[in-house]
Amino acid sequence: MGPKESVRYRNPPAIGSLSSLDCLWLLWLPLAPVGALCSLWSPWAPLVRRMLVWYLVTTYLTNHRGSLWLPWFVCDVLCHMSDVCCKPPVSRHSSKQEGWISQPDSMANFLKGRLSNWSCQSPLLRVKPRRRQEDKNDSEKDSKGRQIKMGNCGSSCSSCCKGRSRDGGNYEPVLQDSEREAVSDLLQFLENRSEVNFFSGEPLRALSTLVYSDNVDLQRSASLTFAEITERDVHEVDRDTLEPILFLLQNSDIEVQRAASAALGNLAVNTENKVAIVLLGGLNPLIRQMMSPNVEVQCNAVGCITNLATHEDNKAKIARSGALGPLTRLAKSKDMRVQRNATGALLNMTHSDDNRQQLVNAGAIPVLVSLLASHDVDVQYYCTTALSNIAVDGNNRKKLCTTEPKLVFSLVHLMDSSSPKVQCQAALALRNLASDEKYQLEIVRAKGLPALLRLLQSSFLPLILSAVACIRNISIHPLNESPIIEAGFLRPLVDLLGSTDNEEIQCHAISTLRNLAASSDKNKELVLEAGAVQKCKQLVLDVPLSVQSEMTAAIAVLALSDDLKAHLLSLGVFDVLIPLTASDSIEVQGNSAAALGNLSSKVGDYSMFVQDWMEPSGGIHGYLKRFLESNDPTFQHIAIWTLLQLLESEDAKLKTLIGQSTEIVNMIKEIANKPIDSDDEGDEGEAEVVFLARRSAGLLGSAGLLEGGETAQGNAGKTQ
């Protein structure tokens, strides 16, 4: 008997001509949608799928007539739908501006179905679709409109032996033995994937076999498997795992690119993997994929770059790789996922001076500023933070000032955002801009003070910190002192001095109060009336050194006002200033002594100095003795200038106390008798110290309090 004719798909016969075998598939047809629905929710999904495939294979093997076309098409479509609908796409994000990775849909079930199809095929060959003109009576179109011709088993076997079909290539070898074995092994591993480590041993070898196959379907299956397992399990992997994924990344097939970049992006969440991916040359294929016309591929490639850019060792390499241009262009993408990933990557690249400059050169500033108007909170956050970092550099601030006139207005507007993280970053961006005098004034003109006051009075610590840091820089400009006070900042700033759990907030608050009091006695009085000094006196001995330095400096500024000195003394500031002159911090010592010196000038009533001459902590006497003994010209200058103010006070008791201190008198004489060059007289430093010591010695001598006073007076007179 000769070989049977090839069976070709044709139109199904009329119902009236059905045989008993024809009716068999009609009995199965109602089960197809039922099977599909079961596969959506039922644990029997694998069994249902296998039954459908079994029906297909057994019916085909009986070489039944073309009536098989309908159930094959229905079963194939419905089974695919059941796989795809199992779960929605998954995205990955972290607080470190890591990329959002678009995972392929329903990978686990889809992979099982795809690999099962491979394992169910004839081990030697499969139909190779191709376009050809066929008579309508002898051919039928598949679901994609392609013409398909199928041979029978006899012709298939004979063609397989030759490697090519007898009619010119309708059949081709599909799986080699190693590939077929890898598919079978991989199916078993996927059945127990919760217990299998796919990153080593046999599972990795099976995946690698599929990766390096010439069959694109096997490569798709491998890429989908990698995407599936890395979405569920991420840890450090070696080059044996990364190299196959990087190989897939260079594939021309869109589906392979998408899944491979998803897998790589997932692995790039791990710190060690970030470095390894870049060292193995992962940047170049990712950059090429960023320029892909496919949005999903763009999304995953940019997301992977975003994750890689969170590692310090990678940032410079990414900047030099040519990635900044594509990232800047993709930041304007209409797809929000791509836009988020791109702006997140740009943010990650703003943490070093060199990278910031390269971003500016790549044209990122106009893009970031324009995206401040985005309706997406994440994009707003990434752009405000990136601009805040860019504004750290003085040259960049100048560029922003000349090219982005709407920047301050946009940032002020974002301080009223519904998102606290956006509000916080907007205030910090304004803070960095306010390092320049022009921006200090512009923020006030843009009505930024009310928004900053609202943030200052919030209960969210990061908002308070960002707002108080911003207002501190704005308060540096003298023209802003009165507007800030009139806006109602004094009481909230004084209240923030009590933020004992946050040293930085305390520093910014007291520094702002000092700035506001700097230029005007009226403003000094308002700061005092707001309770700033009382709060400082209450807290200063127990706060960190950095806060002590700011608080003592603020008291020193307030003590410059002659009208407030008596009030300050009545508040008992000596109780804290005198002990702090012996602080471990040189800054605290100097500021405390400066405050005492300012209070010693023209105070009118010196009874407080007499009262505290020996106490607390050695009193005024102990402070003067320590500073005169120091070899620091600045400290000696403060002490002698204070002593001179006390001697000029004409307070008899105070002069007597000074004259009775042999140690102080001897040190004044010693300093006054130091030789100085005539060219150095009146200069700051040691010459100024000697000049003040001679004046003090002269006053002591004229009062009869200095032994050998006439000589000292004479020396002082020569200097004058």
Q: Mean pLDDT over residues 613-640, rounded?
A: 92
Across residues 207-220, what is the average pLDDT?
91
Residue 626 confidence (pLDDT): 94
**How is the chain split into domains, by residue range?**
605-704
Q: How confident is the model at residue 341 (pLDDT cuts 50, 70, 90)?
A: very high
Note the pLDDT tens digit of each residue in 459-489: 999 999 999 999 999 999 999 999 999 999 9
CA distance 404 to 365: 9
| Residue-wise burial string across 187-222, b where 16 or more C-beta atoms lie within 10 A, e elsewhere | bebbeebeebebbeeebbebbbbbbebebebbbbbb
CA atoms within 13 A on the CB side of 160: 17
Question: Mean pLDDT throughout 573-594?
Answer: 95
CA atoms within 13 A on the CB side of 535: 25
pLDDT of residue 162: 33
pLDDT digits (tens, 9 = 90+) for 273-307: 999 999 999 999 999 999 999 999 999 999 999 99
- CB burial readout 620-643, b (16+ within 10 A) else e: bbbbbbbbbeeeeebbbbbbbbbb
Q: Rounded to whole angstroms, how far apart are CA atoms 305 and 660?
A: 76
Task: Please compute the mean of the pLDDT values over residues 50-69 and round it to a whole number.
Answer: 44
Q: Stretch 325-330: mean pLDDT, rounded?
A: 95
Q: Please indicate whether residue 195 or residue 456 has the higher confidence score (pLDDT).
A: 456
110-150, pLDDT tens digit by residue? 555 555 555 544 333 333 333 333 333 333 334 333 333 33
pLDDT tens track for 354-403? 899 999 999 999 999 999 999 999 999 999 999 999 999 999 999 999 99
**Bridge-partner residues for 127, per DSSP?**
171
Of the chain, the percentage scoring pLDDT greater than 90 comes to 59
Structure pTM?
A: 0.73
**CA 399, CA 623: separation in Å to the nearest integer?**
50
Element (H, E) at 64: none
Angle between helices 336-348 and 377-390 (to 10 degrees): 20
